[in-house]
Amino acid sequence: MTATSLAGRRLRDELEQRRGEVEAALSLGFLPRDAVLLVARPVAATALVPALDQTRTVGLVTLPGAFVGVLLGGGSAVQAGAAQLLVLAGLLAAEAIAVWVTVEAVARGALPG
């Protein structure tokens, strides 16, 4: 949810600030979606930074729930680590897809930018 709201807010702000760039791209013959994506791609990358930071520190600062759950359930440390990696990869994938959908929706005009 954080990545989606960051992408939406930052994209709206960037489109307001860089309106001239979008209009210049349109005047060069870019499709409206492509003109917006010129501004949107860096915003999408920035929106994923908190999720990447959180993923990087998992296990160093806190004991993740999936890891502890597997250990308490009788699994080995390797199994617990594998389960936690699966959960983290799934979370990152879901956030990346959510940001992509948000950016695409704004670029296609489905959401106001």
- Side-chain-facing half-sphere of 40: CA atoms under 13 Å: 22
Residues in the chain: 113
- Decide if pLDDT at 90 tops 80: yes
pTM over the 0.95 mark: no
- The mean pLDDT value for 78-101 works out to 89
* Cα gap 11→36, rounded to integer Å: 9
Of 47, 36, 37, 45, the residue nearest 6 (C-alpha): 47
**In whole angstroms, how large is the CA radius of gyration of the chain?**
19
> Which pLDDT belongs to residue 24?
95
- Whether the predicted pLDDT of 113 surpasses 90: no
